[in-house]
Structure 1
Amino acid sequence: MMGLHPSEIELSLDRTYRLLDALGRPQDRLPPVIHIAGTNGKGSTLAMIRAGLEAAGKRAHCYTSPHLVRFHERIVLAGAEITETALSDLLVRTLTANGGAPVTFFEATTCAAFAAFADVPADYLLLEVGMGGRMDTTNVVDDPLLTIITPVAFDHQAFLGDTLAEIAGEKAGILKRGIPCVVGRQEDDALEVIEARAARLGAPVIAQGQHWHSWEERGRLVFQDETGLLDLPLPALPGPHQIDNAGAALAALRQLGFGEESCEGAMVNAHWPARMQRLTRGPLKQAAPEADLWLDGGHNAHAARAIAATLDRLPARPTRLVFALLNNRAPSDVLAPLAAHVQSLTAVPIPDEPNASDPETLAEAARAFGISASTAVDVEDAVTGIATKDPHARILICGSLYQAGAVLRENG
């Protein structure tokens, strides 16, 4: 598959449509689709909607990317990850249909996923955009049941644009004529673009702050829309930013006609790894048994602000980062929101990732923010070194989903 990969990314759906045609147009035979775009929060929102649907006895397909540990995570068929045999057969079928023509890895695997989703019965398909929206490979569904746009922030500017309005325009490309769109919390520039496109398409907007509200009150989540008020448990996914993601999930479930039992299931049963995930077992916990050990895959400024807000809410304890980053990210963008919340940083490489930032470069960037910084050969070396000096520290491994995946693979 990688041998068929074009040398440059081409923002076009031509290859996708060609391959889907060769596969018999599976995009026309999907269960009702809920299409989700946004910069951050897509996966968490999807996980909560899935939990809500399953609490109501519904079967949901899910398509997400990237994976953390195994590729199979990307394709969930009626509630279960695709099997090894089914995936192998599907990829052979897809590459045979492709006939050796140029196609990207994401295009080929997305088309393969659509073929699987068309073949296996389910009640809904939760479809997460890969990058952007307008020209994303997933944007070939003409009549989704619902679209969702989670918060839009700066990311992938080389492909999506240099301004928030330009990026929002790409995300809003998933809107379809007459199809309702749930919109999460947005900056004014982004919301204006989304609402303008929705108006042109006659797509009803269900926006946070206008049509629905979610907030924490006395250890509970309160959600209110035009239908009424819900008093629910806080989301199982930790962090104050999950209140907004939960609101978007609840707004979607209400739009789909689900009641309080489904909404409560969305809060208590959702699972989404490497999003402020507490590590309680495995080699890293053995290396730092008294430490409070966390993992997060956030890798841009918006995600770093969410991490900082979560750290603010945790019990007071020195926080020490184990940090890695891809070299197409600006370290200062990610470190700026975190600097006031951490006592030290240990920079590490990302295993088997040629595009990882040099740890010493990351350490120098941290020192520019007044953070005491050092390097280590890997995550376990970093955690062991921190635990030796400060056994009761809070240790947060963050900066890269690729690193988070490696941690979960090696740490069980």
Structure 2
Amino acid sequence: MSTRSYQDAVACLNSLQSNAATLEAVRASGGRLSEFAIPEMVEYLGRIGYNTSDLNRLNVLHVTGTKGKGSTCAFTESILRHAMPQWKIGLYTSPHLVAVRERIRINGKPISEDDFAKFFFDVWDRLEENQQRAHSETPARPAYFRMVTLVAFHVFFTLKVDATILEVGVGGMYDSTNIVPRPIVTGVSALGIDHTAVLGKTLPEIAWQKGGIYKEGVPALSVDQPEEGMAILKQQAEARKASEFIVIPPTPGLSETRLGLAGEHQVQNADLAVHLARVFLRQTTSLNVEASLPEPFVQGLAQAKWPGRCQTVPDARDPLLTWFLDGAHTIESLECCMRWFVSPNVALRPTTAGPHRVLVFNCTNGRSGGTFLDIINTKIAAHLRAFGRDDDPSSFFDDVIFCANVTYADGHFKGDLTTIAIPESDLSHLKTQHELADAWASRVPTFSSDRIHVLPSIEHAVKIIYGRRSSSAGRPVDVLVAGSLHLVGGVIEVAGLADVAL
């Protein structure tokens, strides 16, 4: 490869994606294939020149959960950055919204394109040069998420970070991030039925997976959980010999503190972040962190950013067009999304003319789109009643758009947003989107059929939205984008919202 640019790195990374058939094989195995993730990941780490014991030098805060783990990491990173401004802090999260380099941040900012390309090809070359295998079954190159995780570790080692906030990708026990022998502190955000429900797992089974990040001699934290999940987390903490198991208590004054992330559910995530940061600082510094909220913690909470989650973004070109972005893709997160959106500060805010509301929605193949649409409509009705509104819930949205996550109208993806995990037949026939449209029509029979749109790309959707705005005669247009972080990222890209949203 002659140039080895950022685009070249993204292209090489995309070649490591698992296709739909591979993902289906993992589902069919009941997740058993995931058990190979840890020994394979350890092998890859060795092939690029590191040992697992080296990872302890990164001073890791390890966080998992089925909802709120990303927000918790964002709060934690911001708190530490404000409490220790002289430090260099690494943050590793997934997925990204617009550019893969968003997953690897230093002091709150994604690494540059040049740095990503440099570190990526460092790892790529080391894997190529060292083909020695501990396990003959291990593929020559890691899959997408494992590769990015290796790059993140390499970045954090090279740049000598003082602290690393590490978000689990999926699960916990077998996640590729779970090779750090001794983090400083571990935490579990709220448990619920998320992606793992596709495997038919119960809440105790999910809790067992999440508790797999607890480590010997390391404080194990958790938010308050459903009883059956909490019992398993406590068992995991004991079995793994955690130094202590802490169900975090409410932090005095937190509920009155301004948070940088919108939504009532963020109070719990912020609370976990406060406790994680407090334990971390007590373990690694001589700082006296009192039980209340120190001023740097308050500043960190207020200035935390986590794009694409309950986020309000004014359009860069049109002051009467507002985008409301939430990649909610689970039952629980979609409930939180609607509680945020259908509120006096958001969709029900006072305006001179009632807004034209548009829903842009997509969900992953295999998930129950009908159930998600039930949640949307049920919560609209409930929240309208709660706020004493007599609006007709069935006409709350003026248009609904179900579009594929394909970025552009010509059928191509932005490089960073390329996915091969969608079955070709589904994509070509827009199977999921037609199912969603049919489900909406059956649930809201009075909704005009010419206001239900099935579209092959995000660019098609954005064009319709700008068309609605140009014909609205001064009426504001509010657009809720939900159901998929990939969809949200594509909208940010196509609508040119990156400068404001990211």
Shorter-chain TM band: 0.7 to 0.9
The one-letter code sitting in structure 2 at the alignment partner of 1:140 is I
Q: Does residue 239 of structure 2 align to residue 206 of structure 1?
A: no
Q: Distance in 2 between matches of 1:382 and 1:194?
A: 47
Q: Deviations over 1:305-356 (max 9, x none)?
A: 1112213433426754211222132112322221131623322222245626
TM-score by length of 2: 0.72
Specify the alignment match of 1:361 in structure 2: 435
Q: Distance in 1 between matches of 2:249 and 2:146?
A: 35
Specify the alignment match of 2:166 in structure 1: 127
Deviation at 1:92, TM superposition (A): 1.9
Higher mean C-alpha displacement, 123-132 vs 92-101: 92-101
Alignment of 1:276-355 (within 5 A): 276-283=310-317, 286=318, 289-315=319-345, 316=348, 320-340=358-378, 341=380, 343-344=396-397, 345-351=400-406, 352=413, 355=422
Specify the alignment match of 2:492 in structure 1: 408
Q: Distance in 2 between matches of 1:236 and 1:252?
A: 18
Q: Distance in 2 between matches of 1:301 and 1:24?
A: 42
Cα distance change, pair 188–26 in 1 and its aligned pair in 2 (3 A): same
Q: Deviations over 1:176-230 (max 9, x none)?
A: 12311221242222112111111223322221xxx411xxxxxxxxx23xxxx66
Q: Contact 1:322–1:383 (CA<8 Å) still a contact in 2?
A: no
Specify the alignment match of 2:301 in structure 1: 267
Higher mean C-alpha displacement, 88-97 vs 168-177: 88-97
Q: Contact 2:254–2:267 (CA<8 Å) still a contact in 1?
A: no
Specify the alignment match of 1:72 in structure 2: 101
Q: Distance in 1 between matches of 2:229 and 2:265?
A: 18
Identity %: 27
Higher mean C-alpha displacement, 53-62 vs 99-108: 99-108
The one-letter code sitting in structure 2 at the alignment partner of 1:364 is D
Specify the alignment match of 1:61 in structure 2: 90
Q: Contact 1:279–1:293 (CA<8 Å) still a contact in 2?
A: yes
Q: Distance in 1 between matches of 2:236 and 2:480?
A: 40
Q: Distance in 2 between matches of 1:169 and 1:247?
A: 23
Normalized per residue, which structure has more strand? Answer: 1
- Alignment size in residue pairs: 392
**Alignment partner for residue 41 of structure 1, among 62, 68, 72?**
68
The one-letter code sitting in structure 2 at the alignment partner of 1:380 is V
Specify the alignment match of 1:243 in structure 2: 267
Q: Contact 1:61–1:126 (CA<8 Å) still a contact in 2?
A: yes
Specify the alignment match of 2:4 in structure 1: none
Deviation at 1:237, TM superposition (A): 0.7
TM-score by length of 1: 0.87
Q: Distance in 2 between matches of 1:5 and 1:324?
A: 21
Cα distance change, pair 238–3 in 1 and its aligned pair in 2 (3 A): closer
The one-letter code sitting in structure 2 at the alignment partner of 1:239 is G
Q: Contact 1:107–1:137 (CA<8 Å) still a contact in 2?
A: yes
CA RMSD of aligned residues (A): 2.5
The one-letter code sitting in structure 2 at the alignment partner of 1:95 is W
Q: Does residue 447 of structure 2 align to residue 375 of structure 1?
A: no
Q: Distance in 1 between matches of 2:362 and 2:468?
A: 16
The one-letter code sitting in structure 2 at the alignment partner of 1:96 is D
Q: Contact 2:434–2:454 (CA<8 Å) still a contact in 1?
A: no
Q: Contact 1:185–1:244 (CA<8 Å) still a contact in 2?
A: no
What's the secondary structure of 1:338's corresponding residue? helix
The one-letter code sitting in structure 2 at the alignment partner of 1:398 is A
Q: Distance in 1 between matches of 2:344 and 2:235?
A: 39
Q: Structure 1: state its 5+ residue gaps.
A: 214-222
Q: Deviations over 1:61-114 (max 9, x none)?
A: 011111111111111134442222322222222222323714211112211211
Bigger CA radius of gyration: 2
Specify the alignment match of 1:85 in structure 2: 114
What's the secondary structure of 2:183's corresponding residue? coil
Specify the alignment match of 1:162 in structure 2: 201
Cα distance change, pair 93–408 in 1 and its aligned pair in 2 (3 A): same
Q: Distance in 2 between matches of 1:3 and 1:307?
A: 34
Cα distance change, pair 328–144 in 1 and its aligned pair in 2 (3 A): same
Name which structure has the greater RCO, CA cutoff 8 Å, separation 6+. 2
Higher mean C-alpha displacement, 325-334 vs 110-119: 325-334
Specify the alignment match of 2:212 in structure 1: 173
What's the secondary structure of 1:299's corresponding residue? coil
Q: Structure 2: state its 5+ residue gaps.
A: 1-12, 27-32, 132-139, 283-288, 350-354, 381-392, 407-412, 414-418, 498-502
Q: Contact 1:304–1:335 (CA<8 Å) still a contact in 2?
A: no
Q: Does residue 233 of structure 2 align to residue 233 of structure 1?
A: no
The one-letter code sitting in structure 2 at the alignment partner of 1:397 is V
Q: Contact 1:26–1:115 (CA<8 Å) still a contact in 2?
A: no
Cα distance change, pair 188–333 in 1 and its aligned pair in 2 (3 A): farther
**Alignment partner for residue 221 of structure 2, among 171, 177, 182?**
182
Deviation at 1:246, TM superposition (A): 1.0
Cα distance change, pair 232–44 in 1 and its aligned pair in 2 (3 A): same
Q: Distance in 2 between matches of 1:401 and 1:85?
A: 25
What's the secondary structure of 2:58's corresponding residue? coil
Specify the alignment match of 2:388 in structure 1: none
Q: Does residue 143 of structure 2 align to residue 143 of structure 1?
A: no
Alignment of 1:387-398 (within 5 A): 387=469, 388=471, 391-392=475-476, 394-398=478-482
The one-letter code sitting in structure 1 at the alignment partner of 2:375 is P
Q: Distance in 2 between matches of 1:240 and 1:158?
A: 25
What's the secondary structure of 1:186's corresponding residue? coil
Deviation at 1:232, TM superposition (A): 5.1
